[in-house]
Homo-oligomer: A and B are copies of this chain.
Amino acid sequence: MNDQLSLTFSALSDPTRRAMLSRLSQGDANVSDLAKPFLKDMSLPAITKHLKVLENAGLIIKTKEAQWRPCKINGAPLKDASAWMEQYRQYWEESFDRLEEYLKTITDAKKSKRKKHGKKK
């Protein structure tokens, strides 16, 4: 497992790391800011490791500023991950066991200007 998509999904598969991204979406923050909500649950080195995972996946960018390490989100890798998931949109947009796909198949001859997914939300 070393491809970017795997790195991205793997990094996102932990609730602590997702919470960190969520925090960062409200503004840049340094390590101790990010750590604060979790210090009752885990140690600071554990935080460092989580941030390292996010950084290795390219989901955050950590810089230096005196003794602080301000972090900011880098959404770029999410673009490909999101695009990958979009492939499967049809499998969650329709209820009733892919009813529409079925209907589309059996009515292709009759109707012809159907676009992509008639049903929305």
- The answer on a CB contact under 8 Å between B85 and A73 is no
Chain A interface residue bracket vs B: 20 to 34
A13 within 8 Å of B (CB atoms): yes
Complex CA gap A79/B18 in Å reads: 17
A75: chain B residues within 8 A (beta carbon): 88-93
Copies of this polypeptide in the complex: 2
Chain A interface, >50% SS class = helix
Q: Does A81 contact B (CB under 8 A)?
A: yes
Taken residue by residue from 86 to 115, chain A's Cβ proximity to chain B (1 for < 8 Å, 0 otherwise) reads as 111111110000000000000000000000
Of A1-9, A29-37, A39-47, A62-70, the one touching chain B: A1-9
User: Which residues on A are within 8 Å of B, measured CB to CB?
Assistant: 1, 3, 5-6, 9-10, 12-15, 18, 21-22, 25, 73-79, 81-82, 84-93
Q: What 4 new A-B contacts, CB under 8 Å, besides A76-B91, A78-B88, A82-B82?
A: A10-B13, A75-B89, A77-B92, A81-B85
